[in-house]
Chain A
Amino acid sequence: MSSIIAREHGTDMAALRRKLAGRSGRHYWRSLEELADSDDFQRLLEEEFPRLAPLWEGRVSRRGLLGLMAASLALGGLTGCKPQPEERIAPYTRRPEDLLPGRARWYASTLPLDGYARGVLVKTFQGRPVKVEGNPEHPASLGATDSIAQAEILGLYDPDRSQTIRYQGTAGSDAAFLEQLQAQRRHWAAGERRLCLLTGPLTSPSQHALIERLKRLYPSTRWYRHEPLANGAAHQGTRQLFGEPREARYRLDRARVILDLDADMLGSGPAKLVHARHAMGRRRPDREDALLNRLYSVESTPSITGASSDHRLPLAAAEVPALAAALAARLGVPGMADQAENSPVDPAWLDALADDLRRAGAEAVVIPGDTQPAALHALAHAINHHLGAAGTSVEYSAPVAPAADGDLADLSRAMGEDRVDALLMLNVNPVYNAPAGLAFEERLARVPFSVHCGQYRDETGRAALWHLPAAHPLESWDDARAFDGTVSLMQPTIVPLFGGYTAQQVLAAFAGRYRADPRELVREHWRQALPGADFERHWHSALQRGWIDGTALPTSLPTLRNTPPPPPPTDRDGLLLQWRADPALHDGHYANNGWLQELPRPLTQLTWDGAALISPALAEREGLSEGQRVRLTLAGRSLDTPVWIQPGQPARAITLFLGQGRRDAGRVGNGVGVNAYRLMPDHGAFAAGGVTLEVLGDRAALASTQQHHNMAGRDLLRETDLAHFQEEPGFAQPDRVEEPISLYPEWDYPDHAWGMSIDLNSCIGCNACITACQAENNIPIVGPEEVRRGREMHWIRVDRYYAGPLDDPSMHFQPVPCMHCEKAPCEYVCPVEATQHSSEGLNEMIYNRCVGTRYCSQNCPYKVRRFNWYHYTEATAELATPAAAHNPDVTVRSRGVMEKCTYCVQRINQAETDARNEDRPLEDGELRTACQQVCPSEAIEFGDLNDRHSAVSRAKASPLNYAMLEELNTRPRTTYLAGVRNPNPAIQALEAREAPA
């Protein structure tokens, strides 16, 4: 929609700035259009059916339309009239032990991301995995998961996954492959030819042991590791400082002042879930025993971490090391004294930050980002050491991932020199994600025997001589280490659907063990690695729990051997290009996953096709508006991409997201967005200067989900700072009426009264709840066209708000599911009683009564109802979710039916039934909604309001509790805890001085 307006008129930034400057007090805005509030935007809002306008694309004649209507009336009206079709029941011949048909079973397993383990529990129905939840006992999960883990279910059933061995593109057999492999092995063993391995960033001890075995068998073997999203700077930086590479582990539960240096510690990295739990867990300003922390972010691209921070500073990536050096100088880190004057930001701001860090001492922590150079890591850890934080709020262990012989650049060089005779590429896709400068694809053609093993026959699978299908993590026996080194076991929840191989099987075959049992390969490793006689018992308890006790890597206090090196010199003008992982597609591996493609990215709220982020200042200078296509040229290579104006983006920085622009991802992911890896100058360089920007003539229609409505000055989001809260604790309830009156009758809730409370202090805007809800409730994928028309189906949305100046606004999130109003406006307007009030306070939706008038949606002030405009779930729909991925407890909705959040009524019913079957009351906390269960920061409470001691009742008793649009007297069951930030008073004073009077 934004593009509809901007097509005709560019965005007038100067006017927006004037408008913002003229405002006093707290003002929130959601999009540039809303802020501009131009006549075009008003016209768009006032149009009665803005979402219908772009529909009349096809040419349908009047006769044709009448014919279709008559036919659909005749056929549609009669489908309910025939008896049910006959069904068959096929019981087991022998029932597996402990399996009860109709009841879910849970298995502890592991889903790796970037090689690091996240412990999960997988819900299966008669051998069919349908849902992933976090493993509460696992150190890297603590019960939470992220969107990517949630979406693995859809990935498992993806029909585009590789289903057969291929030789030069045509179907091959494993016998033929093994025959060729046998011949190759003789050459390797004789030392005539060299085998090279390329893996992802693996931490798996059993895979590593097999690689070691290969190196012993064929001594010339080299193992290379390809990390598309990291550059090894963390280990290099700690080596510079401590003399040996160390892995930092941040203990945010112990930290009072946290400085995030372009790390996005809540949104990326293997410990993000733990960080979110610990950092946000202390943000309970309404509790007596609160140990509030303060979070500072310096970031080159607006992220959820910056948005959740108390202070956020936009700074181009290349200038972050200079800031760290200037900070180190202020804190008195040895060897840094001459850097004090070199601050790229307001020195007063930095002074205030330094004071705050110094005061916190051992309870302060500085976190450097993985896309930053080694110098920043050295600086950050020197500061941590100097503050005394090392050993308290940051701990150090040996690196979790074992060291390889080289990275992708080294391999590419060896290939170019014809030193690679055979190459095994295991679960990597370098043809897609290698920087163009490495010429990987051309060099791969020179390798006589190349084998790719992956879940998809992707770009690399097509370029390699042999392609082997890989098993999905939910089909595999495997192991991986978590961020703290804890060994987590992966067990299959289903037999490989397409006959894929595990990494261990492939490595074992290369070592001469053909067709080995994948379970035995993992067990054998642990039988040797685990001490003690009683292996079987140990193994079983580890499998049941999901991880092996006592395998976390020990921490130690490293001694400082060197002073940190000075930051690399940078110029402070000119455009800077930055690369970041796509928050949903990650490195591009998940590009064929419709749930992730359609997941609104935090802050931009863009789905499907991505865009380069530019700052409002740059947009102003170049006269750009959202969706405008530009050509970015760097070192002779160029890329055409639309732009997105991102408030809070550093003025001269342009951010490209990695993971899009796949050529051979599959039917969902092909050709969505552009491949930003191609423009990377060098492997592992995530920022580069010297880029030129050229405005092209055309525009792209981007699919953002938060441009469709106007707040019209309503007070939807409430937040303040700590000082104001202490002064006026009831600020969130300015005109609360104790006993509001209503024309509608009161309800009586004899059994339970379900309610929800969402804490805006804890919500980090990661959007995991959206994907969890989608997986739990069989929510369809609609595609980019439909999202552009405002027809996304997500039952919970996470609204993003800006406040303050265009170039550096503060950012806030607000998840909005159905409010389950006591006096629900939707209930009174349904002509067929398809939406009803339940005896437990739920606003129910009865799909088979709904005739699709959409009056309820029209009358809903929160706009949380979703309508099935098309048959998104039909097997022939373009983006249909495979039936096997559906939750069998939730009805799959058809075309013409309204739907919305049900408070996970299937979970309520199941929990109530279980409790009653066991003749006991339902305990508080036993029943959790999907969005609550997935939430890394525990922002959502759900429970019984009839129970005065339930967690949700206690939350609602907080002075921060408020209802959205309370003045409408809808009496929502879902309420919010207003946000309270904890800013540094010294910096607040600075900002107040700078702000125009």
Chain B
Amino acid sequence: MALILAFALVVVMVALGAYYFQSPYYSGVDRTPAQPVPFSHKHHVGELGLDCRYCHTSVQQSSFAGVPESEICMTCHSQLWTNADMLAPVRDSLRDDEPLRWRRVHDLPDYVRFDHSAHVNNGVPCEACHGRVDRMPLTTQKKTLFMQFCLDCHRNPAPRLRPPDAVFEMGWEARRGVDRQQLGERLMARYHTPSTERLTDCSLCHQ
């Protein structure tokens, strides 16, 4: 009897553990942190059609995509919505030379190296990790960003790769009738994508 109870306890513990580590509480999926300014990607990307790189300026050259400087916000908002209360923190920031302090939505552990430039220059679209930001009124984490998530793609990048001009597009689809895997493999040759062995080296991301 005791043995059965102990076994049941172990099963319950394992199940609870599995549930916990897959839960949004732990992974952060669907988490929408409150921001100093309720910035809407839906409005700026989906409705106005701004390019990602207009604000995330270093995404093609640096590991860090870049969060826009207050100055960048003010290129437009010195002309538009100049007195909106919602934008007061941005105006104050530039006036007082005091940075806005955004809450990080997509947060990888500190022992992980992630390089934005290595991905967007080689056909991995923003959407692959950030989801359809053009539909997000407030920025929300959509993927678990667990190591398993990274490896899914690193083991077989082909289905997610896009041509260079589609990397920053939201909701891009390959033309009808095109084999996604074949297209991806052609793109891999074009991007000189490293071998799967290289893409799954531990030290590629843990250095």
Contact = CB atoms under 8 A, between A and B. Distances in A.
Interface size range on B against A: 35 or more
Interface stretch (B4-12, B93-101, B155-163): B93-101
B67 A91 contact: yes
B117 interface: yes
Interface in B183-207: 191-192, 194-195, 197-198, 200-204, 206-207
B207 A889 contact: yes
Contact of A91 (B102, B110, B118, B198): B102
A846 B104 contact: no
A847 B122 contact: no
A102 B207 contact: no
B169 interface: no
Contacts, number: 143
Given A83-B26, A92-B99, A102-B64, A917 B121 contact: yes
Contacts of A88: 101-104
Interface string B80-112: 000000000000011001111111100101110
A751 interface: yes
B202 A100 contact: no
B182 interface: no
A844 interface: yes
Contacts of A909: 113, 115, 203-204, 207
Contacts of A287: none
B206 A848 contact: yes
Contacts of A846: 202-203, 206
Given A838-B203, A906-B207, A94 B70 contact: yes
B62 interface: yes
Query: Interface SS of chain B: helix, strand, loop or mixed?
Result: loop
A537 interface: no
A751 B195 contact: yes
B58 interface: yes
Interface in A826-878: 836, 838-840, 842, 844, 846-848
A509 interface: no
Nearest to A846: B202
Given A750-B195, A916-B122, A91 B207 contact: no
A916 B188 CA distance: 12
A751 B194 contact: yes
B25 interface: yes
Contacts of B202: 836, 838, 844, 846
A48 interface: no
A880 interface: no
B118 A916 contact: yes
A801 to B, nearest CB: 32
Query: Interface SS of chain A: helix, strand, loop or mixed?
Result: loop
Interface string B37-69: 000000000000000000001101111101111
Contacts of A751: 194-195, 198
A93 B94 contact: yes
A93 B100 CA distance: 8
A101 interface: yes
A101 B64 contact: yes
Contacts of A102: 58, 62-64, 66
B28 interface: yes
Interface in B12-28: 20, 25-28
A94 B71 contact: yes
A84 B62 contact: no
Interface string A75-107: 000000101101111111111000011110000
B119 to A, nearest CB: 10
A93 B69 contact: yes
Contacts of B194: 751, 912, 916
B33 interface: yes
A614 B27 CA distance: 64
Counting chain B CB atoms within 10 Å of each CB, which of A91, A842, A846, A919 scores highest? Answer: A91
Counting chain B CB atoms within 10 Å of each CB, which of A751, A842, A902 scores highest? Answer: A751
A803 interface: no
Contacts of B110: 891
A173 interface: no
Interface in B147-193: 191-192
Given A89-B67, A838-B201, A913 B111 contact: no
Contact of B98 (A81, A93, A889, A902): A93
Interface of A: 81, 83-84, 86-95, 100-103, 748, 750-751, 836, 838-840, 842, 844, 846-848, 889-891, 902, 905-906, 909, 912-913, 916-917, 919
14 contacts: A88-B103, A90-B101, A90-B102, A91-B67, A91-B70, A93-B97, A750-B197, A842-B201, A842-B203, A848-B109, A890-B207, A891-B110, A902-B203, A916-B194
Given A847-B111, A909-B115, A917-B118, 9 more contacts: A86-B103, A91-B69, A93-B71, A93-B93, A95-B57, A103-B62, A748-B197, A848-B109, A890-B207
